[in-house]
Amino acid sequence: MPRLTLRQAADLSAAALAASRIAPDTAAKVAAALVVAEADGLSSHGLARLPIYARQAEVGKVDGFARPRLEHTASAAMRIDAGHGFAFPAIDLAIQEGCRVALEAGTAAAAIHRSHHAGVLGHHVEAAADRGLVALAFANTPAGIAPWGGRDAVFGTNPIAFAAPRRAAPPLVIDLSLSKVARGKIMLAQQKGEAIPEGWALDAQGRPTTDAEAALAGTMLPMGDAKGAALALMVEVLAAALGGANFAFEASSVLDDRGNPPGIGQSFLFLSPQRLGGDAFGDRLEILLSAILNQPGARLPGQRRLAARARAETEGIEISADLLTHIERRAGRSFEGESP
């Protein structure tokens, strides 16, 4: 498969998106998010989504020219209207302002509504941890999980992410979807014409399926069974009800260009270890992590992601020839800067 440097992939992807009714600065943010996902080995949230995002912008399902609007509703609380645009500009604004407030006040909370797919949620809390903060994020997604014992999807796969800064190491990042696997993995299997493992999803009739197409028309199984479904309900409250966003069952799909904007939500909580616990946090965290790492075979969450990112920084990333051709056609040039 073709191999691109991270810079080549980001520049070409930004050009392709900017040619698809998306403002250049927004296109650059979206492209950067997709390329970092590829670098981390999370291809289900990577460049495979570019054709979908571009098409949604072309038909107006997402507003590529929207500008997020922030309202301070209290000294440490803020509400952000994404304007039915891409989530990334609104999330960047939440992180920028939320971190500023939390570093001063000790805590800050932000709720985003009229939003779109948040990409890899862990990347956003990682950015806050890079600024010295502990961060939690919640995002709802279009309906994909049924209530436990039910058959019709009510909840999204609803990821949760957490990050904490470390003194002499990259932040600790935990990012998990509340379905047994991310819905994007089933989307990739559908695009490749591949079967999915049993136990990932049910078809529209509530039967176990290994057919990716039938799984996308059905529901995802929650991690932890009934407990996972309860957590998905919790995220609907925190990510959607709290900020006035659409619930999962009210949202259109982020995987196609049909219907109205999804209008989903994200919420963030930023905490200052210094303000809440003084100087003890860094030492206490390392004691906890050492208790894990001192056990043979144990590892911290995110280690494979960091290793993949390091490889990508030196070796670049591989994408399929068909996907590269699609991106080049949208951009009007090849990744080497020549006309295709």
Domain shared by 251 and 278, yes or no: yes
Is residue 205 assigned to a domain? no
Domain shared by 6 and 55, yes or no: yes
Domain shared by 130 and 249, yes or no: yes
pLDDT in tens, 132-163: 999 999 999 999 999 998 889 999 999 999 99
The percent of residues above 90 in pLDDT, for the chain, comes to 84
Is residue 192 assigned to a domain? no
Domain shared by 110 and 150, yes or no: yes
Is residue 265 assigned to a domain? yes
Each of the 340 residues of the chain gets a pLDDT tens digit; together they read 899 999 999 999 999 999 999 999 999 999 999 999 999 999 989 999 999 999 999 999 999 999 999 999 999 999 999 999 999 999 999 999 999 999 999 999 999 999 999 999 999 999 999 999 999 999 999 999 999 988 899 999 999 999 999 999 999 999 999 988 877 788 889 888 999 998 899 888 888 999 999 998 889 899 999 999 999 999 999 999 999 999 999 999 999 999 999 999 999 999 999 999 889 999 999 999 999 999 999 999 999 999 999 999 999 999 999 999 999 999 999 877 544 4
Among 51, 49, 84, 55, residue whose Cα is nearest residue 263:
84
Q: What's the confidence (pLDDT) of residue 338?
A: 47
Domain shared by 235 and 91, yes or no: yes
Is residue 332 assigned to a domain? yes
Rounded to the nearest 10 degrees, the angle between the axes of helix 121-129 and helix 24-39 is 90
> Residue 137's domain is classified under what CATH number?
3.30.1370.60
Domain shared by 306 and 164, yes or no: no
Domain shared by 99 and 154, yes or no: yes
Domain shared by 42 and 74, yes or no: no
Q: What is the largest CA-CA distance in the chain?
A: 57
> Residue 335's domain is classified under what CATH number?
1.10.1530.10
The helix (H) or strand (E) run that includes residue 269 is: strand 264-271
Q: How many CA atoms lie less than 13 Å away from 16 in the CB half-sphere?
A: 31
Domain shared by 264 and 156, yes or no: yes
Domain shared by 290 and 307, yes or no: no
Phi, psi of 71 (to 5 degrees): -125, 120
Q: What's the confidence (pLDDT) of residue 337?
A: 52
Contact (Cβ atoms closer than 8 angstroms) between residue 184 and residue 52: no
Is residue 9 assigned to a domain? yes
Q: What's the confidence (pLDDT) of residue 199?
A: 86
Q: How many CA atoms lie less than 13 Å away from 170 in the CB half-sphere?
A: 17
Domain extent at residue 235: 69-179+222-301
The helix (H) or strand (E) run that includes residue 29 is: helix 24-39
How far, in Å, are 122, 134, 176, 219, 271 from residue 162 at the CA level? 7, 8, 9, 26, 11
Is residue 216 assigned to a domain? no
């927004």: which residue's tokens? 26
The radius of gyration computed from the CA coordinates of the chain, to the nearest angstrom, equals 20
Distance, in Å, from the CA atom of 201 to the CA atom of 191, rounded to the nearest integer, reads 17
Distance, in Å, from the CA atom of 163 to the CA atom of 185, rounded to the nearest integer, reads 23
Is residue 20 assigned to a domain? yes
- The domain tally of the chain equals 2
> Structure pTM?
0.92
Among 180, 263, 182, residue whose Cα is nearest residue 229:
180
Distance, in Å, from the CA atom of 271 to the CA atom of 283, rounded to the nearest integer, reads 17
């080049």: which residue's tokens? 328
Domain shared by 39 and 120, yes or no: no
Domain shared by 285 and 139, yes or no: yes
Distance, in Å, from the CA atom of 88 to the CA atom of 86, rounded to the nearest integer, reads 6
Q: What's the confidence (pLDDT) of residue 339?
A: 42
